[in-house]
Amino acid sequence: MNEEEIKAMIEKAVEEAIKEKMPVKEFTPRLLEPTHTKWFRDENGNASRSKMGEAFDGDGVKTYQIWDKVRPICTAICGKAYVRQVSREDADYINDVADKICQLIYDSRIEFKEMHK
Protein backbone atom coordinates (compact mmCIF):
# COMPACT_ATOMS: atom_id res chain seq x y z
CA MET A 1 0.00 0.00 0.00
CA ASN A 2 1.45 3.34 -0.97
CA GLU A 3 1.14 6.64 0.89
CA GLU A 4 -1.84 7.92 -1.14
CA GLU A 5 -3.86 4.76 -0.52
CA ILE A 6 -3.18 5.00 3.20
CA LYS A 7 -4.31 8.67 3.24
CA ALA A 8 -7.49 7.80 1.31
CA MET A 9 -8.23 4.95 3.72
CA ILE A 10 -7.72 7.23 6.74
CA GLU A 11 -9.91 9.99 5.24
CA LYS A 12 -12.68 7.48 4.54
CA ALA A 13 -12.48 6.12 8.10
CA VAL A 14 -12.62 9.65 9.56
CA GLU A 15 -15.63 10.60 7.39
CA GLU A 16 -17.51 7.47 8.47
CA ALA A 17 -16.71 8.13 12.13
CA ILE A 18 -17.95 11.71 11.82
CA LYS A 19 -21.18 10.59 10.15
CA GLU A 20 -21.84 8.15 12.98
CA LYS A 21 -21.26 10.79 15.67
CA MET A 22 -23.11 13.71 14.08
CA PRO A 23 -26.82 13.84 14.81
CA VAL A 24 -29.04 13.87 11.76
CA LYS A 25 -31.61 16.64 11.93
CA GLU A 26 -35.06 15.23 11.54
CA PHE A 27 -37.10 16.83 8.76
CA THR A 28 -39.91 18.80 10.32
CA PRO A 29 -42.54 20.00 7.90
CA ARG A 30 -43.73 23.53 8.42
CA LEU A 31 -47.37 22.54 8.39
CA LEU A 32 -48.56 25.64 10.22
CA GLU A 33 -46.57 28.11 8.14
CA PRO A 34 -49.56 29.36 6.08
CA THR A 35 -51.49 30.29 9.22
CA HIS A 36 -48.43 31.72 10.95
CA THR A 37 -47.68 33.89 7.91
CA LYS A 38 -51.30 35.05 7.63
CA TRP A 39 -51.57 36.19 11.24
CA PHE A 40 -48.03 36.92 12.39
CA ARG A 41 -46.24 38.37 9.32
CA ASP A 42 -46.96 41.31 7.04
CA GLU A 43 -46.11 41.37 3.32
CA ASN A 44 -42.47 42.15 4.21
CA GLY A 45 -42.21 39.44 6.88
CA ASN A 46 -42.46 41.95 9.72
CA ALA A 47 -44.17 40.56 12.83
CA SER A 48 -45.00 43.84 14.56
CA ARG A 49 -47.01 45.08 11.55
CA SER A 50 -48.91 41.82 11.07
CA LYS A 51 -52.61 41.48 11.83
CA MET A 52 -51.90 40.04 15.25
CA GLY A 53 -49.02 42.48 15.81
CA GLU A 54 -51.28 45.46 15.18
CA ALA A 55 -54.00 44.02 17.39
CA PHE A 56 -51.47 43.83 20.22
CA ASP A 57 -49.92 47.24 19.51
CA GLY A 58 -46.74 45.85 17.95
CA ASP A 59 -45.80 43.89 21.07
CA GLY A 60 -43.56 41.19 19.61
CA VAL A 61 -43.21 39.37 22.90
CA LYS A 62 -46.97 39.10 23.30
CA THR A 63 -47.54 37.89 19.73
CA TYR A 64 -44.75 35.34 20.11
CA GLN A 65 -46.38 34.07 23.30
CA ILE A 66 -49.72 33.78 21.52
CA TRP A 67 -48.29 31.72 18.66
CA ASP A 68 -46.34 29.64 21.17
CA LYS A 69 -49.70 28.69 22.76
CA VAL A 70 -51.68 28.20 19.52
CA ARG A 71 -49.25 25.61 18.13
CA PRO A 72 -49.52 23.07 20.96
CA ILE A 73 -53.30 23.47 21.12
CA CYS A 74 -53.55 22.57 17.44
CA THR A 75 -51.24 19.59 17.74
CA ALA A 76 -53.12 18.35 20.80
CA ILE A 77 -56.38 18.50 18.86
CA CYS A 78 -54.73 16.23 16.28
CA GLY A 79 -53.69 13.87 19.09
CA LYS A 80 -49.99 14.69 18.82
CA ALA A 81 -47.43 16.39 21.04
CA TYR A 82 -45.47 18.22 18.33
CA VAL A 83 -46.20 19.68 14.90
CA ARG A 84 -43.60 17.34 13.38
CA GLN A 85 -45.76 14.39 14.42
CA VAL A 86 -48.81 15.61 12.50
CA SER A 87 -49.17 13.91 9.14
CA ARG A 88 -49.10 15.87 5.91
CA GLU A 89 -52.61 14.61 5.20
CA ASP A 90 -53.82 16.60 8.20
CA ALA A 91 -52.06 19.83 7.16
CA ASP A 92 -55.23 21.52 5.90
CA TYR A 93 -57.16 20.54 9.00
CA ILE A 94 -54.50 21.73 11.47
CA ASN A 95 -54.19 25.04 9.59
CA ASP A 96 -57.96 25.47 9.69
CA VAL A 97 -57.95 24.90 13.45
CA ALA A 98 -55.05 27.33 13.93
CA ASP A 99 -56.79 29.92 11.77
CA LYS A 100 -60.00 29.67 13.81
CA ILE A 101 -58.08 30.05 17.06
CA CYS A 102 -56.13 33.05 15.74
CA GLN A 103 -59.36 34.64 14.46
CA LEU A 104 -60.95 34.23 17.89
CA ILE A 105 -57.91 35.77 19.61
CA TYR A 106 -57.79 38.64 17.12
CA ASP A 107 -61.54 39.38 17.37
CA SER A 108 -61.43 39.20 21.16
CA ARG A 109 -58.49 41.59 21.34
CA ILE A 110 -60.13 44.11 18.98
CA GLU A 111 -63.38 43.88 20.96
CA PHE A 112 -61.47 44.44 24.21
CA LYS A 113 -59.65 47.47 22.79
CA GLU A 114 -62.97 48.93 21.57
CA MET A 115 -64.50 48.50 25.03
CA HIS A 116 -61.60 50.40 26.63
CA LYS A 117 -61.32 53.38 24.30
pLDDT tens digits for range 43-55: 888 888 899 999 9
Q: Does residue 110 lie within any of the structural domains?
A: yes
Which tens digit of pLDDT belongs to each residue from 77-115?
999 998 888 888 888 999 999 999 999 999 999 999 999
List pLDDT tens digits, range 49-72: 899 999 999 888 999 999 999 999
Structural domain includes residue 1: no
**Contact between 32 and 94 (Cβ < 8 Å):** yes
Whether residue 25 lies inside any domain: the answer is no
Residue 40 lies in a domain: yes
Does residue 8 lie within any of the structural domains? no
Is the pTM higher than 0.85? The answer reads: no
The residue length of the chain stands at: 117
Please check whether residue 79 is in contact with residue 93, taking contact to mean a CB–CB distance below 8 angstroms.
no
Is 60 part of any domain?
yes
Give the chain's domain count. Answer: 1
Could you tell me the pLDDT band of residue 16, with boundaries at 50, 70 and 90? confident
Q: Is residue 105 part of a domain?
A: yes
* CA–CA separation, 106 and 99 (whole Å): 10
> Looking at the domain assignment, is residue 20 inside a domain?
no
* Structural domain for 72, as ranges: 30-115
* Distance (Å, whole) CA 29 – CA 82: 11
